[in-house]
Structure 1
Amino acid sequence: MKNIFTYTLLLILTFSCNQNDFSDTEMFFLTDEASYRVNDNFEITAIVSPKSGEKKIRIKKNLDNLKISFHASSTEQEFSQELKKHFIEGPSLTTDESQYIDEFTISKTQPFKKTFKGLISESKESIILEIPELNIIDSVAKSELLVNPKLTIKGNFQTIFSVKEEYFTPKDINILIE
């Protein structure tokens, strides 16, 4: 009896930990404008929609499993991700995870949508993009944007209780420097 309980528990943990919340979804960004200038505010909306039917996704309440970065299109840069401040190895057997995680049922007509407000500023040599709600401060060299004003927004969601990541379709915007 003890062995059956142990094997059942291991199977439950294995399948719940390996669930990829964002597989079979379409993920993309929308922005409120196509072009921005220094000192402009901007809005970026993250949208997650299932490819078909309905799907449940789980997102950390503090949005720690969402990463967004900005890259100058004139250079070849790989998507970089900062190290996690919090690491969750698997579902707790004794605590209620709902205090840390929101679960959403999404469909084509009711996708997950979250809009973030940001600000574009500048320093002597860089253009700085900030999204305070996500604690994101990213910068791009002004010299790169003078060559090509196109900036690419990249991002991903990391699945809860696993290291699997699903990537957003990159979105291009223009940053006009005077």
Structure 2
Amino acid sequence: MKNILTIFLISILAFGCSKNDFENTNLHLEFDKETYQSNDNFELTIRIVPIEAEKTIRLYKNLNNIEISFLSKSEQLGFHQELKKRFIEGPSFTGDDSEYIDEFTISKKKPFEKKLLGTISESENEIIFEISDLKIKDKIDKTDLLENPNILIKGNCRTVYGIEGKSFETKEIKVVVE
């Protein structure tokens, strides 16, 4: 009996954890403008569109499975966002994860869209990008932006029960520093 129960639990975890909600989707980042000044606010729209048919995706209510990083051209080879401390949970034994996870059915005509507000601020030596809803605070050296004002925005969206996920299409904006 113990062997059957063990096999049952392992198969639940294996099949539940291996599902990639973002397989067969396109992930886009869209900004309200292409060029910003330091001390500007910005609006970032996260858009998830299925490639073919209707699809169900799951996101943490606190959006903890979405990671975004702002990089200067000189940093573009790295993904420097400080990783958040995370505990990856498996599927709930009761089957009810609604307290922590939202489930969305998306289609080409009705993709998932989430608008986030962010700020660009300035310190003595750095430009700071902050999105409070995602708990992101990235800093770029001002001298990098004086040489090249282009900023790359990279990110990914992980499935709620594992490490699999998919990357957003890289987006580029300009930040003019005086």
**Band of TM-score, shorter chain:** over 0.9
Distance 1:44 1:91, change over 3 A: same
Deviation track 1:29-71 (CA, whole Å, cap 9, x = no partner) reads 1100000001111011111111110111100001111111100
Structure 1 segment 65-144 matched on structure 2, within 5 A? 65-94=65-94, 96-144=96-144
Q: CA deviation at 1:84?
A: 3.7
Residue of structure 2 equivalent to 1:166: 166
2:149 aligns to what? 149
Segments of 5+ residues of structure 2 without an aligned counterpart are: none
**Under a length normalisation based on structure 1, what TM-score does the superposition of the two structures give?**
0.92
Deviation at 1:95, TM superposition (A): 6.5
Report the AA paired with residue 99 of structure 2. Q
Within 2, Cα distance between the matches of 1:118 and 1:50? 26
In the TM superposition, residue 9 of structure 1 has moved relative to its aligned partner by 4.0
**Pairwise CA distance, 1:3:** 5.0
- What is the alpha-carbon root mean square deviation over aligned residues? 1.7
How many residue pairs get aligned? The number is 178
- Contact 2:76-2:152 within 8 A present in 1 as well: no
Residue 49 (structure 1) aligns with: 49
User: What amino acid does structure 2 have at the position aligned with 1:24?
Assistant: N
- Give the TM-score, by structure 2 length: 0.92
- Give the SS at the match of 2:74: coil
Moved more, 56-65 or 8-17: 8-17
Once the two structures are TM-superposed, the CA of residue 73 in structure 1 deviates from its matched residue by 1.4
Structure 1: 5+ residue stretches without partners:
none
> Does the residue aligned with 1:16 lie in a helix, a strand or coil?
helix
Q: Which amino acid aligns with 2:36?
A: Y
- Say if 2:72 and 2:152, in contact at 8 Å, map to a contact too: yes
1:35 corresponds in structure 2 to 35
Identity over aligned residues, as a percent? 49
Query: How far apart, in 1, do the equivalents of 2:67 and 2:164 lie?
Result: 13
Deviation at 1:16, TM superposition (A): 1.3
Q: Which runs of 4+ in 1 moved over 2 A?
A: 1-13, 74-77, 80-86
